Amino acid sequence: MKIIVLKFGGTSVGSVDRIKNVSNIIISYIKKKYRVIVATSAMSGVTNELVKKSEQISSNFTPEEYDVLVSTGEQISCSLIAGRLNHLGYKSRSWLGWQVPILTTGNYSSSRIKNIYKKDIVKYLKLGGIPIIAGFQGINFQNRITTIGRGGTDSSAIMLARFFKAEKCIIYTDVDGVYTTDPNKIKKAKKIKIISYEEMLEMSSLGAKVMQPHSIQDARLNRIDIEVRSSFKKIKGTTITKRKNIINNKIIRGVSFTNNDAKITLIGVKDKPGVAASIFEPLYKNSINVDMVVQNISSNGKETDLTFTIKSDDLIKTEKLIKKNKKIIFKKIIVDNKVSKVSIIGVGMITTPGVTFRMFNALAKKNINIIVISTSEIKISVLVNRKDLNKAISVLHKEFNLEN
């Protein structure tokens, strides 16, 4: 069987007309003799509305009920697609996560897919049916409904491709591929024809929403090639694949950014072994993710200043935890909710000296102050004031020749 997995994102199924459009896309693959498995997101905006409702009901909405609630959007869209295909004379039906079943492990709202039971779907495919599977959801060992993180239908699609040994996995979205930076923000962004898993993983982890980071990890582990393309335009998209398949002379592939960061600085922290661990322990215990960290040594050697970043949503909680932490002594706490992280990504930087200098120099020339820096083998991130964000993305995009 020549199997293909097609994923449709929220905007692609955002209205009745768009659902009619994706049904035609599905049929075009049936006509090319593929057995098609579809993974669908909720109609755009629906999941956000559900999240809002949970917050209005309770500030302590339980994780179990949260997953039951927010997974319902996908039930609507998968049924509408199947219904449209039926209307056009095709055999199709919807499948919710628990019906497949798609087995997950881990915490509610950030579970990971562990296993997908294939039997019923294989039987259905052999009978010429088109299964439309609700993305983003699964069921755990306690027999309860789970979700796999916002944007998770990307992961659902990759895992379906893995378990059904699909020839291809195509992610249909509202842009016609992966760009050098967000094309909805920077007009000069250029489409990337082919990109490695490693670079894509960094790009999405550092803010490029076009693919969910976990899905890229899953694709890399299982060697699944992905094509990202538009459900609105019939043009070739971007291939995400292993590094060996790529000949590329660009040092930097893309610029990613986030604009929901916050920064906390502790001034005059009593410096003794274990102090950093004491600061971060309660944050870790409350599932607050610390991103960038920088520590300065003070002139007297007894005190230090420590700066770190977190998501702005976690700011109030973090501030409270720090203030009531009896294990640390400090003089002052400064919080700043108006910072953004800008990152350049590319495997080329492993073998090319001077990338750091070029980045810092380009930002300096535009008077952009760097607050914190963090690096890995294939990326350099800097924290800047949010007012400088657009300028920083543009200048780095130009500096590393991404405009042509």
Neighbour count for residue 325 (Cβ, 10 Å): 15
Name the CA radius of gyration of the chain, rounded.
23
Stretches 7-15, 26-34, 189-197, 239-247: which one binds Mg ion (CB under 5 A)? 7-15
Hey, which residues between 156 and 195 contact ligand ADP (CB under 6 A)? 173-175, 178-179, 181-184
Hey, which residues between 312 and 351 contact ligand ADP (CB under 6 A)? none
Shortest reach from residue 252's CB to ligand ADP, in Å: 13
Q: Which of 136, 257, 308, 400 binds ligand ASP (CB under 6 A)?
A: 136
By C-beta, is 136 or 400 nearer to ligand ASP?
Answer: 136
Stretches 61-69, 202-210, 335-343, 369-377: which one binds ligand ADP (CB under 6 A)? 202-210
Q: What single DSSP character describes residue 33? A: T
SS3 43: coil
d(CA 112, CA 94): 21
Find the angle CA(198)-CA(309)-CA(53) to the nearest 5 degrees: 90
Stretches 116-124, 146-154, 160-168, 310-318: which one binds Mg ion (CB under 5 A)? 146-154
Hey, which residues between 313 and 342 contact ligand ASP (CB under 6 A)? none
Hey, which residues between 68 and 107 contact ligand ASP (CB under 6 A)? 73
Shortest reach from residue 7's CB to ligand ASP, in Å: 8
Q: Which amino acid is at 243?
A: R
Q: Which two tokens stand for residue 168?
A: 């291809």
Count of residues near ligand ADP by CB under 6 A? 19
Phi and psi of 99, rounded to 5°?
-80, -25
By C-beta, is 191 or 391 nearer to ligand ADP?
Answer: 191
What does 393 bind: ligand ASP, Mg ion, ligand ADP, none (CB cut-off 5 to 8 Å by kind)? none
By C-beta, is 255 or 266 nearer to ligand ADP?
Answer: 255
Shortest reach from residue 212's CB to ligand ASP, in Å: 7
Query: What residues contact 357, with CB distance under 8 A and at least 6 apart?
Result: none
By C-beta, is 153 or 381 nearer to ligand ASP?
Answer: 153
SS3 73: helix
Give me the sign of the Cα torsion angle 30, 155, 75, 104. positive
Shortest reach from residue 141's CB to ligand ADP, in Å: 28
Q: What single DSSP character describes residue 377? A: T
By C-beta, is 152 or 346 nearer to ligand ASP?
Answer: 152
d(CA 224, CA 162): 7
By C-beta, is 169 or 283 nearer to ligand ADP?
Answer: 169
77 binds ligand ADP (CB under 6 A): no
- Residue 92, by phi and psi: left (phi above 0), alpha (psi -120 to 50) or beta? beta
Q: Which two tokens stand for residue 334?
A: 């400064």
Alpha helices, DSSP H, located in 127-259? 153-163, 197-205, 213-222
Q: Which two tokens stand for residue 318?
A: 């973090």
152 binds ligand ASP (CB under 6 A): yes
Shortest reach from residue 93's CB to Mg ion, in Å: 25
Q: Looking at the DSSP assignment, which residues form a beta bridge with residue 38?
A: 6, 132
What does 150 bind: ligand ADP, Mg ion, ligand ASP, none (CB cut-off 5 to 8 Å by kind)? ligand ASP
CB 100 within 8 A of CB 122: no
Shortest reach from residue 189's CB to ligand ADP, in Å: 7
Stretches 145-153, 215-223, 273-281, 393-401: which one binds ligand ASP (CB under 6 A)? 145-153
CB 256 within 8 A of CB 250: no
SS3 289: coil
135 binds ligand ASP (CB under 6 A): yes
Find the angle CA(319)-CA(324)-CA(329) to the nearest 5 degrees: 95
Q: Which of 97, 151, 207, 254 binds Mg ion (CB under 5 A)?
A: 151
150 binds ligand ASP (CB under 6 A): yes
Q: Which two tokens stand for residue 283?
A: 């944050």
Each residue 239-278 as x (binds ligand ADP by CB under 6 A) or -, in order, gives ---------------x------------------------
Neighbour count for residue 255 (Cβ, 10 Å): 29
The closest alpha carbon to 6, from 175, 153, 147, 216, belongs to 153
Q: Which residues bind ligand ADP (CB under 6 A)?
A: 9-12, 41, 151, 173-175, 178-179, 181-184, 208-210, 254
